[in-house]
């Protein structure tokens, strides 16, 4: 078992990371920094910080085989206690853009319990240089353009939005020490 470092100051750093994640979720398309000394295994520092901040023994996590490893599992078990499940209806899912993950395959909640949807954390090659997306909706005073490098399945999901609001999957994109979010409330136009 290879244990890697988590936050240097666990309480203060987790609170700081939580505030930044909250900013990204409440202001879709805003890039925030989640500095961490290192990521676990092949994960970026930002994805590792998101996991350290959001998952715990009362949430469930689905891992894509592209990111799954013994190192990641041992550190998740030691630092967070999160149960790792095989079903895609987990509260959190972690994948890599290279896996071309389809958000429609994850839990979208329902009208009575929209909070039972999955938050999909996707490691992407870059948070810029991709197809331009125009965002509007809650948290945005005016439309905002972003261009993360997203796989085809996510772009298709954003175009089609197969689940009517309040259902849907919340998306978190990570790369290096940066992250941005697209909550299900955001209207996305793929340019």
Report how far residue 87's alpha carbon sits from residue 107's, in angstroms, rounded to the nearest whole number: 10
Peptide bond into 166 cis (omega under 30): yes
Let me know if 52 is exposed, middle or buried by CB neighbors in 10 A (0-12, 13-18, 19+): buried
Mean predicted confidence (pLDDT) in 122-128: 97
Q: What was the pLDDT predicted at 65? A: 92
Predicted pLDDT of residue 126: 97
pLDDT, averaged across the chain = 93
Average pLDDT over residues 177-189: 95
pLDDT at 10 over 90: no
43-88 pLDDT, tens digit each: 999 999 999 999 999 999 999 999 999 999 999 999 999 999 999 9
Token pair listed for 94: 């972690």
In CATH, which of 1.10.530.10, 3.40.50.11310, 1.10.10.10, 3.40.50.1370 is domain 10-181?
3.40.50.11310
Query: What sign has the CA pseudo-torsion 11, 13, 16, 22?
Result: negative
Residue 25 CA to chain centroid, in angstroms? 10
- Give the separation between CA 124 and CA 105, rounded to whole angstroms: 19
Confidence of residue 173 (pLDDT cuts 50, 70, 90): very high
* pLDDT, tens digit, 9 for 90 and up, residues 98-123: 999 999 999 999 989 998 999 999 99
The domain spans of the chain are 10-181
pLDDT at 125: 97
Q: Answer yes or no: is pLDDT of 163 > 90.
A: no
Q: What is the pTM of this model?
A: 0.94
Sheet holding 32-33, edge to edge: 32-33, 178-182, 170-175, 119-123, 92-96, 61-63, 84-85
pLDDT at 37 over 80: no
CA pair distance 42, 60, nearest whole angstrom: 21
Q: What is the pLDDT of residue 1?
A: 64
User: Which two three-digit tokens encode residue 53?
Assistant: 């901040």
Span 25-34, pLDDT tens digits: 999 999 999 9
Distance of CA 71 to the CA centre of its chain: 20
- pLDDT at residue 180 is higher than 90: yes
Res 22 pLDDT > 70: yes
């Amino acid at each position: 078992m290879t244990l890697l470092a988590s936050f240097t100051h666990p309480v203060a750093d987790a609170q700081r990371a939580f505030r930044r994640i909250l900013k990204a979720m409440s202001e879709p398309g805003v890039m925030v920094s989640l500095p961490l000394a290192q990521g676990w295994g092949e994960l970026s520092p930002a994805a590792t910080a998101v996991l350290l901040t959001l998952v715990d023994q009362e949430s469930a996590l689905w891992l894509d085989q592209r990111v799954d490893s013994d190192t990641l599992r041992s550190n998740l078990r030691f630092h967070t206690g999160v149960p790792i499940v095989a079903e895609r209806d987990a509260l959190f899912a972690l994948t890599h853009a290279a896996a071309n993950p389809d958000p429609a395959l994850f839990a979208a909640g329902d009208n009575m319990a929209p909070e039972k949807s999955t938050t999909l954390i996707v490691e992407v090659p870059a948070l810029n240089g991709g197809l331009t997306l125009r965002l509007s909706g809650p948290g945005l005073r005016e439309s905002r353009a972003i261009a993360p490098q997203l796989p085809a399945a996510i772009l298709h999901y954003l175009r089609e939005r197969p689940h009517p609001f309040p259902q849907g999957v919340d998306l978190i994109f990570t790369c290096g020490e940066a992250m941005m979010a697209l909550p299900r409330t955001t209207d996305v136009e793929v340019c």
